[in-house]
Amino acid sequence: MTDAPRRIDLAVIPGDGIGPEVTAEAVKVLRAVTGDDVDLALTEYSLGAEHWLATGETLPDGTLERLRTHDAILFGAVGAAPGDTRIPSGLIEREFLLKLRFSLDHFVNLRHSRLYPGVPSPLADPGTIDFVVVREGTEGPYTGNGGTLRGGTPQEVATEVSLNTAHGVERVVRDAFARASVRRGKLTLVHKHNVLVYAGHLWKRTVEAVAAEFPEVAHDYLHVDAAMIFLVTDPARFDVIVTDNLFGDIVTDLAAAVSGGIGLAASANLNMDRTAPSMFEPVHGSAPDIAGRQIADPTAAILSAALLLRHLGLNAHAARVEAAVEADIAARTGARSTATVGDAIAAAVS
């Protein structure tokens, strides 16, 4: 008699553009790697720009409540084609993606940057790139606070308010220190405290305070502008970067670019208190220009699925996926279809 396999109940949101294609491959790999060890239940949700065009819904309350009942969410990408004027600009991003991150309290937006052997970097001499960015996910300039006075007149004033709380900053800083303590023991705070004094000092003071709990972790500080320079001249200097929501958005796209492009960049939106499901998504968008042609690289989606496995405690399964991806990348020779990449990695982990 064997134990019943562990049941894992996933929500899958393929989304728009290349989202469905890359998500299908991530699901394929999840099924292959978990095999008989896990009873994998998948529930697909139709959400995103296409869904909005068809129904006028972004993320209805009922859907959000159903999403809350799952163990985790696997997400592809959402977004209309840039020229599509039927969809108000930024609507899906805010009312679907950011609403999910905020509602499910995804306070750790985790993005690894690793230059895999065999992957070309745009940098002439990239060195070893292997760091993680812990981006705050529920505060900062992303809260939608702000407004417009006298809109459309020559007297218009538009404001954006960055909101930062001790609660929000401390929990993400502590998470980043914990990650650094099991990596190379180095944490870099990225901010701009010489200009953004109030938020900057909260972040700085919090890092100093939490550092006392992690004597094994060295920490330093970079202004965001200086961080730009180091990310292209010496990315090897980074181990764990912790930063706010907007700086994290900027830093992680640059980090993805220098480490081989957003076709490989995975991300996790983590609720580390586990009061709601975490969400796993490639950093790339819906890329409508190449959608439906089976030419998108599903690797970022597959690596995001590995982060999902890790978050659910399936560390050995996650490691198998990551090793298979690494081997697949190293063996790359020419262009392969989206499904071919997924098939190869699925076969390797079965």
- Note whether 147 and 159 are within 8 A (CB): yes
Phi, psi of 63 (to 5 degrees): -65, -45
Q: Which of 9, 44, 71, 93 binds ligand IPM (CB under 6 A)?
A: 93
Closer residue to ligand IPM, CB minimum distance, 24 or 110? 110
Residue 9: beta bridge partners? 41
Q: How far, in whole angstroms, is CA 150 from its chain's centroid?
A: 37
Give the Å distances, CA to CA, from 169 to 91, 202, 243, 311: 27, 8, 9, 21
Q: Could you say which residues in the range 173-212 bind a second copy, by CB under 8 A?
A: 192-202, 205
Minimum Å gap between C-beta 127 and a second copy is 11
| Catalytic choice (16, 192, 297, 328) | 192
- Note whether 342 and 305 are within 8 A (CB): no
Piece of the chain touching ligand IPM by CB under 6 A; list 63-71, 91-99, 118-126, 203-211: 91-99
Binding status of residue 225 toward ligand IPM by CB under 6 A: yes
Binding mask 127-146 for a second copy (x = CB under 8 A): --------------xx-x-x
205 by Cβ neighbours in 10 Å (0-12 / 13-18 / 19+) ranks as: middle
- Note whether 59 and 77 are within 8 A (CB): no
Binding status of residue 195 toward ligand IPM by CB under 6 A: yes
Is residue 253 annotated as part of the catalytic site, yes or no?
yes
Residue type, 269: N
With CB under 5 to 8 Å by kind, the binding choice for 62 among a second copy, ligand IPM, none is none
Minimum Å gap between C-beta 27 and a second copy is 27
Q: Could you say which residues in the range 40-99 bind a second copy, by CB under 8 A?
A: 89-90, 93-94, 98
Minimum Å gap between C-beta 73 and a second copy is 21
Closer residue to ligand IPM, CB minimum distance, 159 or 194? 194
User: By C-alpha distance, which of 286, 269, 268, 344 is closest to 20?
Assistant: 286
| Catalytic choice (28, 45, 116, 142) | 142
What does 180-227 look like in DSSP terms, one character per residue?
HHTTTSEEEEEE-TTTSHHHHHHHHHHHHHHHTT-TT-EEEEEEHHHH
Binding status of residue 249 toward ligand IPM by CB under 6 A: yes
Binding status of residue 229 toward ligand IPM by CB under 6 A: no
Residues that bind ligand IPM (CB under 6 A): 93, 97-98, 194-195, 225, 249
